[in-house]
Amino acid sequence: MRGLVLPVMTLCWREVVRFRRQRSRLVGAFVQPLVFWLLLGGGLRASFQPPGTPPGTSYVEYVYPGIIAMVLLFTAIFSTISVVEDRREGFLQGVLVAPIARSSIVLGQALGGTTLAVVQGILFLVLAPAAGLSLTVSSVLSVVPVMFLVSFGLTSLGLVIAWRLDSTQGFHAIMNLILLPMWVLSGAFFPTTGVPAWLGWTMQLNPLTYGMAALRRCLYLGNPTAAGAVPGMASALGITLVFCILAFVAAADAARRSAA
Amino acid sequence: MSGTATAVRTPVVEVDGLHHHYGSREALAGISLEISRGEIFGLLGPNGGGKTTLFKILSTLMPATGGIVRVFGHDLVREPDAIRRHLGVVFQRPSLDSKLTVMENLQHHGHLYGLRGTALHTRAEALLERLDLGERAHDRVETLSGGLQRRVELAKALVHRPDLLLLDEPSTGLDPGARRDFTTYLGQLREQDGVTVVLTTHILDEAERCDRVGILHRGKLVALGTPDDLKGRLGGDVVVVQSVNPQQLQVKLRERFGCEPVLVDGSLRVERPRGHEFVREIVDAFPGEVQSVTFGKPTLEDVFIHLTGRRLWGEEANGGAAA
């Protein structure tokens, strides 16, 4: 067991150090969602009151948990891009010839991305008052583990793709095709209620819908109606957990299949 | 007693009937060789000859499509982790994280092999001292010159005290001086730590300094032996003749001296004992047609030309060998 922890921790630590030393990534993962929030929240404030949002909720507030999910998504994605870079630049070769299982390598990478995402998610929580949301201690304590789960699932999903690709261009294409739509259709942007049936189905099949629901339920821990018409806490957490496990297993499998 | 004797005799690397295909292209066509403990073994050959494929297989990065490889008696396919523990690998492409410092790279590597704490730090410091990198320990790798980065690569591969060191084109990007230092250091490793070294190279100088050399050409091992042994198989000295009309001179030399000149890259090569006398004979016989004549002891490139009819780098020989 100890033999497993050390390699995993060192791979995770490296992701964090690299992130700290590449300022531009901080901008991509943190400032960009912030700008999105200001633009969407400000721009749609007057016109946007979809059915299903609790009365009295402004759009700025509605989209705030969604922007947290975006922070998690972007951070997770950017850190999985580093896998593609590691392969292209050669760093991965040295890791692959070490006496550690591919699944440990993937776990280290996933935890690295997750750590970065959660730290930025927590930083974003500080902005809750600007959304008109007053957070209780218990909602902060519950939302952090949920952010961890959602980030771990998203990072693992990113890794499934990253281990199969050899160019960052390819990664960007897939990100725009899969990951961004996942975010848009998760209830981050607009609720399931009031959309055409086919879209509603798509949203219900989207695993991130449940992560999004878990985030909302935790942020409005003492006030469930304010969370809106989203899946209940149990199914939200359960499905998110299953998604995490499946995504990790798929990533470990992709890593095993990948030749150097 | 007999136990240790067996351990010494067991080859570090055993390769038996190794094949590898990339789709329909055959990269390795049945390679068999053994490498003993403490040997410095060089795989020499042109690019595309199969060196890198063999290297990838030995370093456990890629399973071969056929044949058996055993390292320290462990089967490469079934027990890769048992082998990886004993393996230090220096890749042709850089494998350092340029955003980390030299020391951080070494520590990260040590952690992957289960080393930690003071023991790891002391080991890393000692290696950096030994490789004359002590002063750069806390600089980020991206600020180091190419030559220094190569040395850090070597230090990194040695952190976990490997018993077998694999190096893919180790002197890429090194100037001749640094290359000599590198080879000297490999020699020390063998003497002091009993490390077995396997390296691929297309640089003759580097191959000459190996204990044994295997020459790879088109996926086949065309020669295997000590450099002196391989060169001794040639007929004495190598005489190289430059001429305005080499094809014509090739025929004339054959008729006059009964030798078999090979035309490689526009110059004629003859293997001949007592080359210095032959030089004079050629000049006397064809004064108008010879631009220059040189002779020398055979190099490993001469061995390569002798075996394949082409130079290590460059064009295919124009028909000479077959004639």
pLDDT single digits (tens) A113-156: 999 999 999 999 998 888 888 888 899 999 999 999 999 999 99
Is B206 within 8 Å of B183 (Cβ atoms)?
yes
B145 CB near a chain A CB, below 8 Å?
no
Q: Can you tell me the distance from the alpha carbon of B272 to that of A161, in angstroms, rounded to the nearest whole number?
A: 61
Q: Please answer yes or no on whether A94 and B104 come within 8 Å at the CB atom.
A: no
Which tokens belong to A244?
A: 């995490």
Q: Which residues of A touch B109 (CB under 8 A)?
A: 94, 98
pLDDT for the residue A53: 64
pLDDT for the residue A52: 62
pLDDT single digits (tens) B184-207: 888 888 888 889 999 998 888 888
Which tokens belong to B167?
A: 């190096």
Q: Please answer yes or no on whether A260 and B95 come within 8 Å at the CB atom.
A: no
pLDDT for the residue B318: 38
H helix runs in chain A, sequence order? 2-20, 23-26, 32-44, 59-89, 91-96, 102-125, 137-162, 168-174, 180-183, 197-205, 207-219, 233-257
pLDDT for the residue B315: 42
Q: Count other C-beta atoms under 10 Å from residue B110's C-beta.
A: 22
pLDDT single digits (tens) A12-46: 999 999 888 887 877 777 788 888 888 888 787 77
Computed from CA positions of residues A233, A239, A243, A249, in that sequence, does the dihedral angle turn out positive or negative? positive
Q: Please answer yes or no on whether B98 and A3 come within 8 Å at the CB atom.
A: no
CA distance A14 to chain B (A): 8
Q: Which residues of B touch A11 (CB under 8 A)?
A: 112
Parent domain of A212: 2-257
pLDDT for the residue B313: 64
Q: Please answer yes or no on whether A98 and B113 come within 8 Å at the CB atom.
A: yes
Residue with tokens 């073994």: B41
Is B113 within 8 Å of A32 (Cβ atoms)?
no
User: Could you please report the per-residue DSSP string of A97-142?
Assistant: TSSS-HHHHHHHHHHHHHHHHHHHHHHHHTTGGGGT----HHHHHH
Q: Which residues of B touch A99 (CB under 8 A)?
A: 81, 84-85, 112-113
Of B46, B215, B62, B278, nearest to A260 by C-alpha is B62
Q: What pairs with residue B310 in β-bridges?
A: B316
| Number of domains comprising chain A | 1
* DSSP 8-state assignment for residue A185: I
Q: Please answer yes or no on whether A90 and B85 come within 8 Å at the CB atom.
A: no
pLDDT for the residue B105: 96
As a whole number, mean pLDDT of residues A46-66 equals: 76
Minimal-distance CA residue of chain A relative to B156 = A94
Q: Please answer yes or no on whether A95 and B156 come within 8 Å at the CB atom.
A: no
- Strand, helix or coil for residue A22: coil
For an interface test with B, the pick among A19, A82, A93 (most B C-beta atoms closer than 10 Å) comes out as A93
Q: Please answer yes or no on whether A94 and B81 come within 8 Å at the CB atom.
A: no
pLDDT for the residue B96: 95
- Strand, helix or coil for residue A190: coil
Is B298 within 8 Å of B249 (Cβ atoms)?
no
Is B243 within 8 Å of B268 (Cβ atoms)?
yes
Share of chain A above pLDDT 90, in %: 45
Which tokens belong to B315?
A: 């064009």
Interface of A with B (CB under 8 A): 3, 6-7, 9-11, 13-14, 17-18, 21-22, 89-100, 259-260
Is A227 within 8 Å of A142 (Cβ atoms)?
no
For an interface test with B, the pick among A91, A103, A256 (most B C-beta atoms closer than 10 Å) comes out as A91
Does pLDDT of A197 surpass 80? yes
As a whole number, mean pLDDT of residues A156-175 equals: 84
Of B69, B113, B111, nearest to B88 by C-alpha is B113
How many residue pairs bridge chain A and chain B with CB atoms within 8 Å of each other? 70
Residue type at position A172: H
Q: What is the mean pLDDT of chain B?
A: 86
> Domain B232-322, what fold?
Alpha-Beta Plaits (3.30.70)
Minimal-distance CA residue of chain A relative to B97 = A91
Q: Please answer yes or no on whether B91 and A90 come within 8 Å at the CB atom.
A: yes
Which tokens belong to B80?
A: 């890769």
* DSSP 8-state assignment for residue B203: -
3-state secondary structure B83-113: HHCCEEEECCCCCCCCCCEHHHHHHHHHHHC
Across the interface, which of A3, A17, A97 has its CB nearest the CB of B100? Answer: A17
Computed from CA positions of residues B84, B89, B93, B95, in that sequence, does the dihedral angle turn out positive or negative? positive
B182 CB near a chain A CB, below 8 Å?
no
Q: Can you tell me the distance from the alpha carbon of A61 to that of B239, in angstroms, rounded to the nearest whole number?
A: 87
Across the interface, which of B85, B98, B111 has its CB nearest the CB of A10? Answer: B111
Q: What pairs with residue B29 in β-bridges?
A: B19
Does pLDDT of B10 surpass 60? yes
Minimal-distance CA residue of chain A relative to B85 = A99
CA distance B74 to chain A (A): 14
Q: Please answer yes or no on whether A94 and B98 come within 8 Å at the CB atom.
A: no
Which tokens belong to B157?
A: 């591969």
Fold match between B37-60+80-230 and B232-322? no
Poorest-pLDDT segment among A28-32, A94-98, B3-7, B217-221: B3-7
Q: Which residues of B176-195 are buried (b: 16+ CB within 10 A; e: fewer)?
A: eebbebbbebbeebbeeeeb
As a whole number, mean pLDDT of residues B209-217 equals: 92
As a whole number, mean pLDDT of residues B98-118 equals: 95
Residue with tokens 């989207």: A206
Q: What pairs with residue B271 in β-bridges?
A: B238
Q: What ipTM was reported for this prediction?
A: 0.86
B165 CB near a chain A CB, below 8 Å?
no
How many Å from the N-terminal Cα to the C-terminal Cα in chain A?
A: 26
As a whole number, mean pLDDT of residues B299-311 equals: 82
Is B241 within 8 Å of B268 (Cβ atoms)?
yes
CB-based burial of residue A249 (10 Å sphere; 0-12 exposed, 13-18 middle, 19+ buried)?
middle
Share of chain B above pLDDT 90, in %: 43
H helix runs in B263-314, sequence order? 275-285, 300-308
State the CATH architecture for B37-60+80-230. 3-Layer(aba) Sandwich (3.40)
Minimal-distance CA residue of chain B relative to A96 = B61
Q: Please answer yes or no on whether B100 and A14 come within 8 Å at the CB atom.
A: yes
B74 CB near a chain A CB, below 8 Å?
no
pLDDT for the residue A51: 62
* DSSP 8-state assignment for residue B316: B
Highest-pLDDT range among A29-43, A116-130, A217-231, B261-275: A116-130
